Structure formats: structure tokens, C-alpha cells
Structure 1
Amino acid sequence: MSDGSITLRALLAAVDHTVATLVDAPAGDGIAVRTVAVVEPADLPEHLSEGALPEVYLLVGVDPDATTRWLRDVGDRDPAQRPRVLMTKGANDSPAVRVAAHDAGVALVHVHRQARWDRVFSVIRRTLARSPGQRAASDDNDLLAPDTDLFGLAQVLARETGGMVSIEDPQSHVLAYSASDASADRLRIQSILGREGPSDYLRILRDWGVFDRVRRGDEVVDVPEHPELDIRRRLVVGIRRGADGASSRMLGTIWLQQGAAPLRPDAAQVLRGASAVAARIIARRLDAPSTEALLVRRLFGAHGDGVDVPSVAAALNLPTAGPAAVIGFAPIGPAAGLTESSGLIRLHASAFRDDSVTESIGERVYVLLPAYQSEHSVGSWVRELVTQLEQTRELVVRAAIAAPVAGLTAVAGARAEVDRVMDSPVADPMGSRVTTLADARTAVLLAEIMELIRERPRLHDPRLAELDTYDRAHAADLRVSVHTYLRAHGEVRAAAAALRVHPNTLRYRLRRVEAILGIDLTDPEDRLLLAVQLAALPIAQK
């Protein structure tokens, strides 16, 4: 369609019937949709307060009663402002939900309980974002059409070979797939649902050397069926960048499952050609990020260049004025996989604000909320997400929030400030891992001042070395004693209690410190300098 919309029928075909099944469509499956939103329970009232609603809704974790109430409220709105499609999991089983959806004129779609919401959302967004030319390519006989994408390639390849196609990345994550029929086997269904295939069959593939053969060259490997495991015959070929097998880069694989009918005689040859096309598509994506991705990275200041804010705002459909919020997520310690989980973060950010923008830069993930209800709501959402990443993905991360941000012109600066917070050391990794820029300001500035002193020996007070020499020679604790005294704001009794010594003992030690360093602890400047030196140089100077 020239207006960028797509029919519900085509959308369901792209998502695949193994993932989503149409329960009821009061206006038929030929209705056109253009926009999608992910909504969690807390976001339902907020979405009803808006004007025209998104046309496709993914309700995540919303129980049947809340779904029914929401649909009834939707039914009271002007028909032109209602959503057109509702996709849920368990709520579809409720007769009340079905009746409310039908009465509201909303198509109801059942999503498989094992399907990953982030995968479903990604496929829908990709499908809606495909240009009319890309959609036309999926109906074209020319596999080499320059506008073909991986989904279009999968559809054409399936048609030309008589099988069902899955295109995967090197980690066996499904990138695109063709429509399935009733002969889709366990491995295909589990893969499309975003789950790992049957472990016993994957072990057999490794024993047969299938993965090794695919990695070594451009051979099309014929994998026989395994009736005991309900696995059908497959052809698989690697997607490689570069002609030299030794130096070429593995970009993924294409799997062609045989259905009820045999594959066509030239299926292997067509599959090898499709591998070359897929390599070009993936390489083009790696070499030339999308215009939107470039705009987002420039907006976050990833390239260090200025940004034409009005153009970016128009291209991404974002408000130029604030208040906005910028949130950064960074792994703590050796934790890996945060950037691989950027899709999950994007999903939750879109559920919180459907106009949010998410981008991975280096080992960190950043989220821009162009508008928000309150700083408290942003903080609550970030804390909940940090907890969920740890519990469901075993990712220990910290997050920093910059809010309010004046508008899009201040996003790059806000991201730099967020990085300053995340660059500062974590004193208690098991404590609160979410902080705001305002709350962290003191700690961040002090940490940067301490680091500056540590890196520049000329800023080290040589008298501190004399104190360390005395401690080593006399097995004394003068450094610890004076440090505790300064942290107690000069309260001798409080510091003595912390050190578990008599106040007179501490007074004696402080006099020794004054004598050794040649300073006066009643002098504010001497006290400040000593406190800074002790904090910046905690290890005894040699």
C-alpha cells in the first residue's frame, strides 16, 4: 500500500501462525494498520488518555479482567480513535474479553504462550517499517531485487523451493522466516517462538558434524529427517562474507525445512544463491546502518558531531521541547550480554512510552524518553527494569537517569553526564544501582577529583609519605586514626569510639600526626588538604 499501511492478514502472515492466531475480526482481516504499541498494566490508563490510539496493541501481563475493562472503555471512544487489533496471551481465553473486543470492533489475536514478546514486537515493527518497494519485492520473482530484505528473501525462497525458510544469525537467533504450514516441525516452531530447539536434536546435529560443515564453506548440507524426534528433513547453508573460506566471515545460516511435499529438485542451487543475497543484505546492514539508526546515534552524540534537531525530530516524530529524560544502562563487573538485551530494554521502554528511543553504544544501552509523567515514575520504571534484567537475564547492571532534560538539543550533553555517573566506581554493587544525576553529583565530582590527583604525581603531598613511613616503622595507625577523625568532622569522642580507643589515645595520635606532617589540624585549609590526600591516595606511598 502506498500509504505505508499493511493489512492485518499480511501482518499475521509475517508474524506466522505458529506465533499468532486470529481469534475474531469484526471488520475482517483486510483492515489496514500502521502503528503498534506495547502496553503493560500500569500503562493502560495513560494510553486511554491520549487522542487517537495506536492501531495494534500488544498487552503484556494484563489480566483478563483489566483487559475487559479497557476494551469497554475503548468501545466508548470515537470509532476513528479506537485501536484495530489487540494481541494478548492468556486474556484470549476469557469469554468476557472476546465479547468486549467484538463489541468494540477490535480484532483479537492470540499469541502463543511461549512466544517472546520482544521477538513479536520486533517482527511487527520491522514489518510495518518495510517500504512498499520491499513488500513488492516479496511478491517478485527476482531474488536479486535491490530492495529485498531478509523477510522478503525468505518468502521468495520458500516459494521457489517448496519448503519453509528460517534465516538465523551466527548465534542461531532467528532473523527472518517464511510463512509456516501444518507440516512445521518442533524445531521450526521452537525457533520461531524465540526458544532453543530440542536439545537432543541439537546434540545430534553436532554429532553429525552439521554445524562444522556449514562453518567451513559454502556447502549445502542435507540433514535427514529424524522421525523419532518429529524432525523433518532440512537443507542448510552458511551465509558468508568474502569468497575465501579461510578469511571469510560467518554471518549466519539459512535453514530450509521440507514440508508435506518433497523439495524441488533445484532447491540446493536456489538455496546457495539465496545465501549470496542474504550475505549482501546483512553486510549492507552492518556497513550502512539505517538512516534512523544514524539519526538516533547522532542525537545521543555518539559521533561527536552537531545534529539538526528539527530534522531529527521530524524524521523520528519526536517533540523538540522537554521535559525529556535520558537513561543509561551499564553492566557491573564482567557481566556480558547487555547490548544483546537491548531489544528487551527497547520493548520495556516502548511499553512505558511508545515514543521512546533506544540505542546501544559500546557496552551500554541508552533510552530517551521525549516526554514523561514525572521523575518518580521514570525512576520506578528504571528500578523495576534493572531488577528484571537481573532476575530473568542474570544481568547485573546499574542505571543513571538525567531528568529533566530541556529538549532534544540537550540529549547529547545529558548522555555525557549519564556516562560520568556510570564511569564512577560503584561503592556497593549489591546496593541501589539506580541513581539520578542530581543525587550522584557530589559522588561523581569527588571521584573525578580523586582520579585527577591519583594520575598526577605533582599533586601528591610528599608529607603523606612521611606519615606512612612512621606507621610502618612503629606499627602505628596514625593514617587510619587521622582519617577517621576527619570523617567524624573533628569530633574526637565519635572518632575514638569508631576506632575503639580512649579519646586521650586519639588526641595523642593526632598530635603525632601534626608533628610529623608539620600541619595544624585546627586550620581549615590544612584539614581540607589532608582529607583530600587521604581519600585520593588510600594506599601507602612507597
Structure 2
Amino acid sequence: MPSTQDPAPQVTDPSPSDEPGGTTLRRLRERLGPLVLQVECAPQGEDVLIGRQVIHDLCEPVPAQADGVLLVVGGSPDRDDCRDAIRQAGAARYSAVVVKARGTDLAAAAGAAEAAGVALLVAPDDMPWRHFDALVTAATSAFGPAQDSYSSIGIGDLFPLANAIAYQVGGAITVEDPLGHVLAYSNLPHQEIDEIRRQGILGRQTPDRPTNLDEYQRVIRAEGPVRFVIPDTEHINRLAVAVRAGPQLLGLLWALDGTPPLGEGAEAALEEAAKVTALHLLRARSHRDPDRWNRGEALASLLDGAVSGSTAAAQLGIPADTSTTVVAIAQAAPEEMPGLGGARIVDLVGLYCQAWHPQALCTTTGGLVYALLPTRTDPGAERRVVKFAENVVTTVQRSAGLALQVGIGVPAARLDDVPAGRRTADRVLRALSGDPQAPTIATVSDVRSRVTLMELTERGAPSVDLPAGPVQRIIEHDAQHSTTYAQSLLAYLDAFGEAIPAAGRLAVHENTLRYRIRRIQELFDLDLDDPDTRLVVWLQLRLHQITS
């Protein structure tokens, strides 16, 4: 909950309206609905233009802001200082003042607003001011009347989109981001809502319920819409679908299945709506923070090697000769809710990047999260990057309950070298994922041998499928007869031919292992007394283990 005394006026800048002449009070009221906004009085009528919001501290003078909306934070409508702020707003040519009633009589404040020629609006007592401000920003970012046709809605106009979907599907709609934040909602008066929806709108976050995790998991894993029958008679059944752009999870759509119930075509309509919503969410995301979005896309292109270092330097605002280190981050276990964990991780990694260096960046690509950290070349540089990774792992585990593994690449002297640094970081991650005893965080030095084997595989090292090779025949024999000759032989060679430690690793008696080794040499014509044979056999078995 934000403080009720902000230190200074803050002007929030919504996106330019697509409606000629700007947004009107009437449109704002229609968009937000009576649950979020009530008009106590409007002496100039509801067709007045609505401009920027100003969060106001009663201890400060009201700043000039023509057509603005003054949010009187911490004020009580029955106090003189609140009424004085209303009079100042009228003198400064504001369109509206927003207060919270908090059980007081609004008559005096309404009288002051009538005299000042400014509309008096009332926000819910239980909605945090920052959430109300964000809703007004979203609702005024691109206006147009509620439509029943997707084609007539401007890209990124989430509130009219929600109304259009509600019309098509037949139930009240909520648009959420992957973290459950309410981005927009429908406001068709004939459609039923319940307390869960009310709390979600007021708090701009899905209320915490014991079944939330299971419900979100089902929706995000499903290929299409999912129905939920809620046994609580005070709550309404729901239909939900994930919104994706390719493999990337962008958000969720929730439809209330109340009275009247959704029709037979509701699932198909909601699934079609998800495709349309994906375009809107991509536009809304880029519009909210276009610089961050563009830089993230440019970083992904640099990591993939799709652009040169000089091109990336211009797009990222980083000199081409900057020394950097790539950090690759993955979840240690398969994600229960695909896409949701990645969204949480990239948000937290982004915060640490900001703290690390003004030019540090993070993005997601290929199912992983990557951070690009400008680094110095002094001896302590690697340790600082490891500390960065430790902080990220600890914070994500504590706040999101997700276990991570982190691979740290070799430093890149120039941006042109970043793709190579990314490949190394990926190999380190792969080395960690293939070893149950591996640490959470590793550099190339920590897993150098395993990374070297991966490089040999990628560069065309002797393959396990050479014709008539003994290793290939051993592997095929194991597959056909359910034997463990390959595993036994690798353990034996790993132990330098010592049967006792190798047998301990395999949990068999040492004599059993010795018998297996003799059988392997007999069946596959293998001379383990030859050092070159031992080397090649071990290498092929090890590469097979890594790549299988």
C-alpha cells in the first residue's frame, strides 16, 4: 500500500489517445464502471476532456495541469484542505478531482467542486491509489466506444477489447498478465460478476485463493480453453484460456459463466479472442515501455548472432568495444506453469541488472533468461558476476519459489564476441543439467571438462554410430537385451580399471563387475589392454552419455 503522503506532485503520462480531441469524462466512466469510479458531480458535463493524472499531496500547492485529473491522496472530503485543493484545481483548469469518501459526507466537497467548475469523482476506499492511477492510465491510453467487432478496435486498446470479447463470449471478461495482474476488464451492465472479480479489479491482482496455483497451471498447460466449476455458491463458474505469441506466454483471459450461462460457442469464441488479444498485449507491452522492449529484442538478436556488434551497439546504446559477460539462467526443474516462471524470473533479473550497471540488460530467448553484464577485466570480475548470480538465485527462490541453475559464459571483449559468450554459457547450463550433483551456479572453469566434451560433439568428434564399432554394438545390445554393459564399462574406465570403486558406483559386487568386463571383451572383441582403445571407448561412451 503506498504512503498517503507523497512527497511531491507526480504527473503520470498515459499514452496518447487514439480518439480525436482526447478522452472524455463520459468515456472514462463508461470504461472503468461504477465499481471503480463514481461521478459525484460534473458541473461542466461529462463531455469534458480528461488529461493527465496528478497525484497530489495536500501539503503542496496544486500544480498547473490543464484538463488534468487531480488525485487527492490522503485527504478527507470533509476537511478544509481537501476543499481548498478542489478550489485550486478549478483555478488551474483541471477537469476533475478524485477523492475517497471513507464514510464521510460528500456534500461540502461537491459544493466546492460545483463552485470551482470541476468534476468530483469518487474512487473505492479499498483500492490503493497506485492501482486506481494505473487503471485510469490504462483506460485513457487509447479510447473508443465499446465495440462488438474486433476489427474496429485499435491495437493495444485493452478495455474496449475486453468489452468486445465479453459481447462475443457472453460473459464478463478479465484480461490478465502472466503474473495475475488485471490489465483490463469488461463493463457490460447486463453481465453478472462475483466477489473474486470485484477484488481482482479493485486490487488489480487476482485475489489469493487456495486453488489459484492449480487453476493457473491447468490453463497455461492446456492447448485451449479450460472450464472451472466453483462449488462456492457465492462465486461464478469460469472459462479461461492462455494468450500466447508462439511459445511465449503473454497473459490469460477469464470469462465468467454465470446467469445466463455461456452458450455452446463460448469456448470457440474465447479461443479466437485469445489470438486477437495476443496482438493487443504485444502492442500494449511495447507501448508501456517501448525502449525496454526494443532493447530486449535487440539483445536477443545479438545473442543469436543475427546482428553485428556495431548494429547492436546502436540499438542498445552500448559502445561496441564494451567488455561484457553473458549469464544464462534456467529453471532447475521442469516448469509447472510454462511461461509464467520465465516472466517472474526476467522481472527479477531485470531489477538486478539495473542495480548492476545502467547498461546491463536481460531478455528471454529459446526458453531461457539471459543477462548481459558490462564487466571489467580485473581479477575480481568473475567473482562479482558469480555474486550477481547468487543474488538472483536466492531472490527468485524466496519470492517466486523457483529453483534456478545459472551458467556464466566467458567474458566477451567486444559486442561481436557476445554470441560466443552466449554459446559458452549455454554449454555450462547443459553441463549443470546433466549432473545431479552439480552446483546451482557454475563458470566455465567449474565444468571445463564437460564443456570440452560438448564442444567435441558439436565439432564432429568421433560419433557413436561409426559402422561396426564396438561401442555402437554395445549400446545396441543394451537396448535389445536390457543389459547394462555400456554403463558398467564407462564406470570401470572412469575408475581407471579399479573394480572395487566402480562396483560401488554401480551398486553391484566387484566380482559381478569383473565378470561383465570379461564378457564385454569377449562379445565385442574389445582389447582394453590397449591405451588408445581405452581412450576412444571412454570418449565415445562419455559423449553418448552427454548427448542421450
Using structure 2 for the length normalisation, give the TM-score. 0.49
